[in-house]
Amino acid sequence: MPKAQETVLEIDLNAVKHNLDYLKSKITSSTKFLAVVKAFAYGNDAEEIALYLQELNVDYFAVAYTSEGIHLRKAGVTKPILVLHPLPVSFKALIENCLEPNIYNHKVLSEFIEVATNEGQTNYPIHLKFNTGLNRLGFSISDLESIHSKIENTATVKIKSMFSHLAASEDLNERSFTLNQISTFKSIIENFESLFGFLPLIHMCNTSGILNYPEAHFDMVRSGIGLYGFGNSEEEDKNFKPIASLKSVISQIHHIEKGESVGYNRAFKSDAEQKTATIPIGHADGISRIYGNGKGYVIINGRKAPLVGNVCMDMIMVNVTGIDCEEGDEVIVFDADHTANDLAHNANTISYELITAVSQRVKRIVKK
């Protein structure tokens, strides 16, 4: 792509395909693949990426909230969409857009059946989530009989899948905990089949689960971060291609005298003559204040330039002393070579937080 002339997020769909192909190489041909495209496809572009993955014939999509699913439907996504955290206020809209809710407690189950009944639905697909150790959302094994009672007394809904979520599948030091989660889920599956007389679609693995726990692939796997280029370990990261490059430009260069300060609150005070560059990207674009005062950096003409002072809403300043650069030069915040993982680690956070924070006011450029 040509050099950036403004702040842009370049998205490489070829990298998406590479990541999908790698993940699918870890599962059998009969195992379904669910692509997680919540949070604007992890800060990228949900519409573009979902439509492209639909062309690549993924089996399912997942979003966090109903509004995200509606956006994808309006964009032309026709594949099934699982809403992971539906709220009762959106149930009618969810049904109107043929989205499929994750049902995680009795209140949500009862309220969804009521709304679906009022909307004249029959055999509407729902997904049951079971808590096996993440302790975030989900039924427990002790809820099975009451779930069965409610489902048996209505023709309004049908159980499309049952699933759980691994809490630490990327951390091999927690292998015994993860294996216990898998064992617990298998017990829930056995009890479900005994009680209901059938089994719906079964799924449990996230990206790290796909890579580390093939015994838990079941009927379908789910991947979010892997599709976007990260494998949750240094070794696995080598097998993925980050799909996004966040770039900007130098707006102005300043020569700072000893004792002068830079930015709000005079957070940086120079102890010698220095050269700084101002770049049009800030915390309103997704560069959190945690990256300020040297914890973050950008790449200019192949050199690291650490952030100087506090991150502003629309701008950052970086130290370019000793770097051959001028106003208008391209700035790389992260890309495939200088990854979001590396930058996030420098500020003691994770790539998920950095990439999902990229504001939608940042221009997206999609490479096909």
Catalytic residue among 65, 92, 264, 275: 264
Neighbours of 86 (CB within 10 A): 27
In DSSP terms, 126 is beta-bridged to 159
Rounded distance, CA 336 to CA 237, Å?
Answer: 11
DSSP characters for 285-336?
A: TT--GGGTTTT-EEEETTEEEEEESPPPSS-EEEE-TT----TT-EEEEE-S
Catalytic residue among 22, 26, 38, 297: 38
365: helix, coil or strand? Answer: strand
The four Cα atoms 274, 348, 248, 6 give a dihedral, to 10 degrees, of -130
Q: Is 65 a catalytic residue?
A: no
Rounded distance, CA 315 to CA 207, Å?
Answer: 34
Report the candidate in 243, 134, 248 with the shortest Cα–Cα distance to residue 180. Answer: 134
Q: Is 124 a catalytic residue?
A: no
Under 8 Å between Cβ of 63 and 83: yes
Neighbours of 240 (CB within 10 A): 23
Strand 201-203 to strand 157-163: parallel, antiparallel, or no bridges (unpaired)?
parallel
**H or E element in which residue 150 lies:** helix 144-152
**Which phi and psi (to 5°) does residue 268 adopt?**
-120, 130
**H or E element in which residue 33 lies:** strand 32-36
Question: Residue 350 gets which letter from DSSP?
Answer: -
97: which residues sit within 8 A by CB, 6+ positions away?
A: 66, 69, 70, 73
Q: Can you read off the two tokens belonging to residue 317?
A: 């300043």
The residues assigned a catalytic role are: 38, 264
